[in-house]
Chain A
């Protein structure tokens, strides 16, 4: 059991409660006890001076790849959960796309065991939608759910066979599991990782059309209409994609969507000069897409912004563009970029925080993402004015593949608590 904590004098932002004011937070037994006045008989085992800092619910990240088991040369659960803690992310939804995939309880237990060892941020496991993510056989969803999976996911490997997808949605709905789907038509995507546009034409690289996203969305939406399954679309990339999701939500379909944070800041132009850090899937698209995605986040068509964390070893990116493995190392920059969305006038601060805390938590029914009394004391204290230069070496993640190298961001995490226990900085707490 963790000691009681008094967080004093910070600017407390809790979108779930609509709170943005300077106040104190009281924590005990691993939970939020109260905001404002201490509960009766409260005795602070520890006081954190939060004057000049933002006090936020710990961030909830829907899209992370921790690489373990199967690719520990890139990263591992312990390293990445600690990086998450240092980045203010207290809940990490781990992709089932490991080797072997999280499609049975044995792998799930291994993952959970490693997460426990990390003593850092909490890991929320996502189960594989199909066995081995093969797109052909159903995974043991009921067993996965009993063992702690909150949703099933295609892990970035879309199910090509429409009949299998339909059955998977039906089966998941039977067990009341949300299904996380990557809207990407495999035939229109294969062999490329650049938007089909001007930059791809210039660089002589095969392009991925926007239709790769819209075709897949339309197909899945048709199946949602028939099955009533609760579907979450992962990583939108285009104006048209966001429009399709908006329309489906207006029509009352039980669908939601997220976007990778880098999609709100980068475009196809960032791949100029064959920069492999800009090799991502779905690809970085045009300036208009970027603006439309920001608008969709502001409007709530997109309810969550995630890191889409895909740490890589140096070799995976030290190759010509087309041979590089896609993905960015996104944990370290998630929070500072969320704050930057407000700086750039894209979103009010409370909305920006909402999309990385209570927004994603609500989608999967997770208890975190809020400072409501009774909730787990997952809290992040940020200095919103502290500047830092993004360099690959400065990242806490083992993955150095950031496309934001050379950017100056503001917002550094000072303290992270999970269940009321300090997980960052790693310290021997004063008595």
Chain B
């Protein structure tokens, strides 16, 4: 068994969606194309398609996130699936039941898909390795490792505004070290053939050997933003001040905050993105977040279409568990 292929079946179709790393370009593009077809659905007055009728999707959030969970829930409902939300933070996981035991119990409920958010890197892989063959796992964020649907919605947003990835220079600014979003974006951008991917951060917020992910490293924001077509700024978690990673939010903003003057160094038609929620005045100036270059609000809308695409592709070609039992 090759662990590398855990996401794909024999025909190269998506079985699970755990990471954007190593996915072939045509599959990444198909996710974006499928999302585009669903955007039409969402914008019409009839907001559902029957693709996942009779299927059950379970949202397993071991780490709280109302926003992400809600978009997954909406996406599943628009595909006509039944949705169960389990807030694992207040459930058996806290009472010391092992993840494996929890999983066994939930599998008995005959779900077709688990959407998993967990604080441990690798948790979604772990679950995908241990569920039965007929359950698909979608990673909704695991530790620092991956947040592939977020990355794909960012790719979707970029493609809508910029078209082709090949000529693009993209700068990701901020806490790369702790960011699952950044890792997934880097893999997706490289997988889609983006011209250049940059990361911009102080050394304390960059993981070791990060350039081997296929990025150019910048410590100075002015150099990092020069001539880029896309600026992605990451949320700065408050707890980073505690671990002696940064002296203060003020200093961070002075050195890495996306201000209008700095944005002027980028290409004239550059877009500015942020996975949200925004700390105004910490990683981004309000005037930029609300300004003409910002596509931050579009990102939220696109999230539903991309999650619909991933969910339907993971269950494509699989029989529904409920039907099999009849």
Contacts and interface: CB of A to CB of B under 8 A. Distances in A.
A83 B220 CA distance: 58
Contacts of B193: none
Contacts of A205: 121-122, 143-145
Q: Which of B121, B123, B143 has the largest count of A CB atoms less than 10 A from its CB?
A: B121
B79 interface: no
Q: Which of A196, A315, A319 has the largest count of B CB atoms less than 10 A from its CB?
A: A319
A198 interface: yes
Nearest to A209: B208
A273 B2 CA distance: 9
In this complex, the interface size class of chain A, counting residues with CB under 8 Å from chain B, is 20 to 34
A318 interface: yes
Contact of B208 (A197, A318, A322): A197
A319 B129 CA distance: 11
Contacts of B120: 320-323
A202 interface: yes
Interface in A317-373: 318-323
A204 B180 contact: yes
Nearest to A206: B144
A207 B3 contact: no
B122 A320 contact: yes
Contact of B100 (A200, A202, A319, A322): A319
Given A196-B208, A198-B212, A273-B3, A203 B98 contact: no
B77 to A, nearest CB: 29
A197 B213 CA distance: 12
B270 interface: no
B147 to A, nearest CB: 10
B10 interface: no
Contacts of A315: 98, 100
B146 A201 contact: no
Nearest to A207: B208
B122 A207 contact: no
Given A318-B100, A320-B118, A200 B207 contact: yes
B89 to A, nearest CB: 16
A122 B121 CA distance: 42
A274 B126 contact: yes
Contacts of A198: 208-209, 212
B98 A201 contact: no
B126 A320 contact: yes
Interface residues of B, number: 27
Interface in B191-230: 207-210, 212-213
B208 A203 contact: no
Nearest to B209: A198
Contacts of B207: 200-201, 207
A272 interface: yes
A196 B206 CA distance: 12
B99 A321 contact: no
Contacts of A207: 207-208
A204 B178 CA distance: 8
Contacts of B100: 315, 318-319
A209 B207 CA distance: 11
Judged by DSSP, the binding face of B is mixed
A10 B200 CA distance: 65
Interface in A295-326: 315, 318-323
B292 to A, nearest CB: 34
A331 B143 CA distance: 34
Given A318-B98, A319-B100, A323-B120, A273 B125 contact: yes
Contacts of B122: 203-205, 274, 320-322
Contacts of B142: 204, 320
A201 B183 CA distance: 9
Given A201-B213, A204-B146, A204-B180, A321 B208 contact: no
Contact of A322 (B121, B180, B210, B213): B121
Interface string B107-146: 0000000000010111101100000000000000011111
A275 B3 CA distance: 10
Contacts of A201: 207-210, 212-213
Nearest to B3: A273
B212 A203 contact: no
Contacts of A196: 208
Interface in A185-213: 196-198, 200-207, 209
Nearest to A286: B209
B99 A320 contact: yes
Interface in A207-259: 207, 209
Contact of B121 (A197, A209, A318, A320): A320
B3 A204 contact: no
Nearest to B119: A322
Contacts of B4: 273
A322 B143 contact: yes
B119 to A, nearest CB: 9
A26 B84 CA distance: 73
Contacts of B6: 273
A252 B57 CA distance: 67
A250 to B, nearest CB: 30
A200 B121 CA distance: 10
Q: Which of A273, A275, A320, A323 has the largest count of B CB atoms less than 10 A from its CB?
A: A320
20 contacts: A202-B213, A203-B121, A203-B145, A204-B122, A204-B144, A205-B121, A205-B143, A205-B144, A274-B125, A275-B3, A315-B98, A320-B118, A320-B120, A320-B121, A320-B123, A320-B125, A320-B126, A321-B122, A321-B126, A322-B121
Given A205-B143, A209-B208, A319-B126, 15 more contacts: A197-B209, A198-B212, A203-B122, A205-B122, A206-B144, A207-B208, A273-B125, A275-B3, A315-B98, A318-B100, A319-B98, A320-B126, A321-B120, A321-B126, A322-B122
6 nearest A-B residue pairs (beta carbon): A204-B145, A273-B3, A204-B144, A274-B122, A201-B207, A204-B121
